Amino acid sequence: KVQKLHQRLTNIRTDYINKTVFSIVNQKPSYVTIEYLNVKGMMKNKHLSKAIASQKFFEFKTKLTVKCKENHIELRIVDRFYPSSKTCSNCGKIKKDLKLSDRIYKCDCGLAIDRDLN
């Protein structure tokens, strides 16, 4: 019974990954940018390792890579310290004073967008 529940959770996670990758690729962007995550380093944290292992980062990255290649979409992997949330997706200007509490990115060029969508 416990094994059945674990399998169900695995299936739910895999389904979520598949739907997320499909949603990204279906928008037909010219490129997709993802952050390089130091998963090995995160796995060393005994408090986080179990949660990180169950999230299947590698599976997500692998499926996204395959689907991007199939659909001729460039996949960019940036350093984890790259200021992606601070860089305007419209004009490219970097806003150095953006705080984590600032959920809306407002640029001098007139763009106002959720920082996670920027």
How do the domains of the chain map onto residue ranges?
2-82, 83-118
Query: Is the model's pLDDT at 108 over the cut of 90?
Result: no
- Entry pTM: 0.73
Average pLDDT, the chain: 87
| Four-point Cα dihedral 55, 58, 60, 61, nearest 10 | 150
Between 98 and 67, residue with greater pLDDT: 67
Report residue 21's pLDDT band, with 50, 70 and 90 as the boundaries. Answer: very high
Return the number of other C-beta atoms located less than 10 Å from residue 25's C-beta: 18
The pLDDT value given to residue 82: 82
CA–CA separation, 83 and 75 (whole Å): 18
In this model, does residue 118 exceed pLDDT 80? no
Q: What is the pLDDT of residues 49-71, one digit of tens each?
A: 877 777 788 889 999 999 999 99
| pLDDT higher than 90, residue 42 | no
* Predicted local distance difference test score (pLDDT) of residue 26: 95
